[in-house]
Amino acid sequence: MKHNVKKIHDYLFEIPQTGKMLVPARLYVSEKMLDDVFSDNAPEQAAHVAWLPGIINYSMAMPDIHWGYGFPIGGVAAFDYETGVVSPGGVGYDINCGVRLLKTDLTVDEVMPKMKPLVDQLFRDIPSGVGSTGSIKLTHKEEQHVLRNGAHWAVEQGFGIAKDLDKIEENGTMPGANPELISEHALARGKAQLGTLGSGNHFVEVGVVEQIYNPTVADILGLHKDQITVIIHTGSRGFGHQVCDDAIRVMLRASEKYGITLPDRQLCCAPIQSPEGQNYLAQMACAVNFAFTNRQMITHWARGAFSKALGISERAINMTVVYEVAHNIAKIEEHIVDGQKRKVCVHRKGATRAFGPLHPAIPADYREIGQPVLIPGDMGRYSYVLVGTDQAMQETFGSTCHGAGRVMSRTKAKKAGQGRDLRKEMAKRGIVVRASSYATIAEEMPEAYKDVSDVVDIVHNAGISKKVAKLRPLGVIKG
């Protein structure tokens, strides 16, 4: 497949439309990345997405592309709302895995002397690890409220403040959720896992603003050099996984029922307008709301941990939400296609919404600069803040990358970590790490990921999002 790839420009390559592809596939990558990108089946997955009915313009993949279930991770595709399909494989198992960025009134000099006790306190206060359960055990009625109302429920229960909601995608509540469609198994998995970080690449990271690329935009976001920040990266936990699992079984039957030809069973789908398609969107919205609530509760506990560890009041710390983005989601949106406004279902799997300036979905405070985009890196390097662009609206349905992208499997990473003291290696970089097991640290070692700076440079140079600030990690907790 690689020999057929056509170069559009230095940061965009195209797999031509062939066979049963309805549109070409486009990869936002650099030439030097091509060998790595084609080392697994991810580009083939992007081409297979182009088979699906109702796809518009292109199947797309961002520079953090790697193999995933059905769609590649880093995949973006928009489908006509009337004639297209919705696919659970285009959202993924960790529905509304996403990132929240918090800023504080603290400086690096104030916090560094207490970084170890701060990370220890965060690790104590925020449940993490495989199968972790939280201190909140929901009743059936409470869980129904969470699934319908998202982060609003958390604020009503005293987890955070109302103004937190202003800076969350969808204001923390995705409409259309229907808990009546959720299986008992999914409900059971969700009841004990709300307010937990989970395992794998999920984390809470204390960082510092190291570099500002656009002072005007950074000022509007309230970011300045040497400021302490916090990133929360987690999703819908076992609840979202079960919602996806349940949906895939339905969609495999639906694909046959509606005569949809699939190049890969993992791309099972249903017409958006079908009962199966509408039910999945309503179930997915429940998981989206679970994840919004999860990050809201972790924010509340992070504020408390800072106050306890530093001996400063929460008011003085002033930890506020800069923004929160989802990066595993399907959303009904309106976009301009061939000069006409069209209603579409945009699948973003391991991809971030990146709406350009003046879009009404952006918080009023940020509307003139474009939607904030949060791109976490690995635990040893950097994370970035960008903003969406008009070019992204024209080219990618307002989408960009979501992170660094794995280059090493978890198994390979654990093997590579044998005989090394990764905690000590991280400490030499000035980073305090706490995790539920050494295996997690090995799985998440920096070498397991692409350099996020390379990924961010591609989307910046391609014009689909623009750099604002670079954050450096100081302390990390992992599941």
The answer on pLDDT for 312 being more than 90 is yes
The answer on pLDDT for 419 being more than 80 is no
- How much is the average pLDDT of 252-278? 99
Q: What is the 3-state secondary structure (H, E, C) of the chain?
A: CHHHCEEEECCEEEECCCCCCCCCEEECCCHHHHHHHCCCCHHHHHHHHCCCCCECCCEEEEEEEECCCCCCEEEEEEEECCCCEECHHHCCCCCCCEEEEEEEEEEHHHHHHHHHHHHHHHHHHCCCCCCCCCCCCCCHHHHHHHHHHCHHHHHHCCCCCHHHHHHEHHHHCCCCCCHHHCCHHHHHHHHCCCCCCCCCCCEEEEEEEEEECCHHHHHHHCCCCCEEEEEEEECCHHHHHHHHHHHHHHHHHHHHHCCCCCCCHHHCCEECCCHHHHHHHHHHHHHHHHHHHHHHHHHHHHHHHHHHHHCCCHHHHCCEEEEEEECEEEEEEEEEECCEEEEEEEEEECCEECCCCCCCCCCHHHCCCCCEEEECCCCCCCEEEEEECHHHHHHCCCEECCCCCECCCHHHHHHHCCCCCHHHHHHHCCCEEEECCHHHHHHCCHHHECCHHHHHHHHHHHCCEEEEEEEEEEEEEEC
> Whole-prediction pTM value?
0.96
- How much is the average pLDDT of 133-159? 93
pLDDT greater at residue 47 or residue 406: 47
Q: Tell me, what's the pLDDT at 128?
A: 78
- How much is the average pLDDT of 328-334? 99
Per cent of the chain over pLDDT 70 is 99
- How much is the average pLDDT of 384-389? 99
Phi, psi for 401 (deg, rounded to 5): -75, 175
The answer on pLDDT for 130 being more than 70 is no
Q: Tell me, what's the pLDDT at 2?
A: 78
* CATH class of the domain at 2-85+95-478: alpha beta
The answer on pLDDT for 246 being more than 80 is yes
Q: Tell me, what's the pLDDT at 186?
A: 98
In the chain, domain spans: 2-85+95-478
- The set of catalytic residues is 402
The answer on pLDDT for 198 being more than 80 is yes
The answer on pLDDT for 457 being more than 80 is yes
Q: Tell me, what's the pLDDT at 412?
A: 84
- How much is the average pLDDT of 314-325? 99
For tokens 């623009």, the residue is: 466
pLDDT one-digit tens code per residue, 158-178: 999 999 999 999 999 999 999
Q: Tell me, what's the pLDDT at 422?
A: 87
The answer on pLDDT for 470 being more than 80 is yes
Q: Tell me, what's the pLDDT at 423?
A: 87
Q: Tell me, what's the pLDDT at 405?
A: 77
The answer on pLDDT for 240 being more than 70 is yes
The answer on pLDDT for 445 being more than 90 is no
Q: Tell me, what's the pLDDT at 446?
A: 83
pLDDT greater at residue 23 or residue 414: 23
Lowest mean per-residue pLDDT among 127-141, 199-213, 358-372: 127-141
Q: Tell me, what's the pLDDT at 197?
A: 93
Q: Please give the mean pLDDT across all residues of the chain.
A: 95
Q: How confident is the model at residue 288 (pLDDT cuts 50, 70, 90)?
A: very high
Q: Tell me, what's the pLDDT at 273?
A: 99
Per cent of the chain over pLDDT 90 is 86
Q: Tell me, what's the pLDDT at 129?
A: 62
